[in-house]
Amino acid sequence: MKLSPWDPEHRRLSVGIVALVSVFGFEGIAIGAVMPVAAADLNAISNYAVAFTSFTMASLLGMTFAGLWANKIGLARVIVFAVVALALGSIVGGFAPNLSVLTVGRSIQGFALGVDLVTMYVVIGRMYPEALRAKALGMLAAAWVVPGLIGPGLAGVLVEISSWRMTFWIVPLLLIGPFMLLVPELKKLPFVSSPVRTDARMQITSVLIAIGALSIFQAGASHVGRWSAVLIAVIFITTLGVTAWSTKSLMPQGYLRMRQGIPAIIGMRGVISAAFFAAEIYVPLALQEVRGASVVLSGGVLTAATITWFAGSWLQGSHKLKYSKQQILVGGVLLISLGIALTPVAVFAPISITASALFASVIWGIAAFGMGLCYPTLGVLMLDQSPEEEHARHSASLQMSDSFGLIIATAIAGSVLAFASVAQGIESKTFVTIWIFCVFVGLSSLLFIPKVQQKSTVVRERLNL
C-alpha cells in the first residue's frame, strides 16, 4: 500500500494544514500583486522594498517565538496566536493612510507568517513518518496553487470595484474555516519534551538586535542617492557585521562558515531565497510601472510561479525521480538562475503588454520550478539530519535564514530603485540591474551543495551505490 498524506490516518490533519497555508498563500500572492498600486496610492514607490522587508523582519520574531514556545505551550496555542495576528495585521494594513501604518500592518502579518512557517515544519516532523515527509512538504507547496490561481484575479477585481485595501480586509474572513478545522487536530499532537533552553533570552535579544540592524540597513538602502556614499557604506558594513554576530545564537554553529550538514543546509536556503524572492518582488512592479500592465496581468506571473513551484515540489517528492538530493539541488539552482536571467528579456520585449506578461509568466515559472525542487529538498535534509527534539529549533533557523537572505537582497535591490528615483527616474535598466544582481546571488548557492549532507550520510550513500 502506498503511503500518502491523504490516507485516513492523516487526512484531516493534511486538509487543515493545506487550508491554513492556502490563506497565508493568498495573503502573500494577492497583496504582492496589488502592492505596486498601494505604493503608488501612498506615494511610496521609491520605498517599495520597505513593505516587504518590514514583513520579513517581523517574521524573524515570529519564528523565534514559535521555535522557543512550540514545545512549551503547545502547537495549537501557537497556531491560534498566528491566526489572530494575521487577521489583525490585515485589518491594520487595509486602513493604512500612509506607508508607516502600512508597514505596521505588514509587520504584524509577517510575525504571523513566521509563526506559521515554523509550526508547519514541526507538525510535519512529528505527525508524519519519515517516508512521508517529502510528500508532506510538497503538500505545503500544493497549498499555494489555488491562491496562486485565484489570488491575482481576485485582487484585480477588488481593485477595480473598490480599492487595493479590500485585498487586506478579505483575509480575516478566509481564516475562519481553516482555524476551526486545524486547531482540534493540533490538540491531538503528542507532547515532545525538549531540552531545557538556557539561551531563550539570548535568542530573543539576538533577534531584536538583528531586526534593529537590518532596519538601519534598509533605511540606508532607501536613501541611496540622497545620503553620502561614505555614510551608506558605513551603515552597510556595520549593520551587516552586527547581523552576522547575531546569528551566533540563532543559527547552528558553523552557519557562517558553511559547515557540513545542518549549517550548510540552512545557509543554502537563505541564499536561494535571497535570489528568488528579491527578484520576484520587482516583476509585478516592472510590468505595472514600466509596461503599464494591469494587476491581473502582472499577477499572472505569480500565478504561474505557484503552479510550477508545486510541480517542482511534487517531482522532488516522487519516487520516480532517480537522482540524489545534491543533483536535484544543482538542477534547481540552475533553473532559478536561468529564470531570473531571462526575466528582463520577457518583461521588456518589444511586444504587446499582454504578450510580454504571458512571456514573463512562462520564464518566471522556470525559476519557480527550480525553487520547487530546492525548497522541500532542503527541508527534508534538515528534518532527516535533526533529532526530533531539535525539529522546532532547526526549522526556525531554516526559516530565519530565508528571512535574512530575503531582507538583505531585497534591500540592496531596493537601493537601486531608490537611486534611480533620485537620478534619472525608474526605467527598464533599473530592473535589469536588480535582476542581474539576483542571478549572481542565485549562482553563489552552488557553493553550498557539496556540504549539505553529513559525512556519514555521504559515505553510506556511496556504499549503497
Write out pLDDT tens, residues 300-356.
Answer: 888 888 889 888 988 887 766 678 888 999 999 999 999 999 999 999 999 999 999
pLDDT of residue 194: 55
Is 107:236 a contact under the CB 8 Å cutoff? Answer: no
Query: Does the pLDDT of residue 55 top 60, yes or no?
Result: yes
Residue with cell 496589488: 34
pLDDT of residue 193: 54
Distance CA 459, CA 465 (A): 10
Distance CA 60, CA 118 (A): 10
Query: Does the pLDDT of residue 191 top 80, yes or no?
Result: no
C-alpha cell at 371: 525553487
Return mean pLDDT, the chain. 86
CATH topology for the 11-187+199-464 domain: Growth Hormone; Chain: A; (1.20.1250)
Distance CA 132, CA 3 (A): 7
C-alpha cell at 389: 527534539
Which among 154-163, 184-193, 355-364 has the top mean pLDDT? 355-364
SS3 352: coil
Task: For the chain, report the end-to-end CA distance as a whole number of angstroms.
Answer: 26
pLDDT of residue 70: 66
Which residues, in sequence order, are CB contacts of 341 under 8 Å at separation 6+? 435, 436, 439
DSSP letter at 191 equals P
pLDDT of residue 192: 56
Containing 309, the helix (H) or strand (E) segment is helix 295-317
Query: The whole model's pTM is what?
Result: 0.82
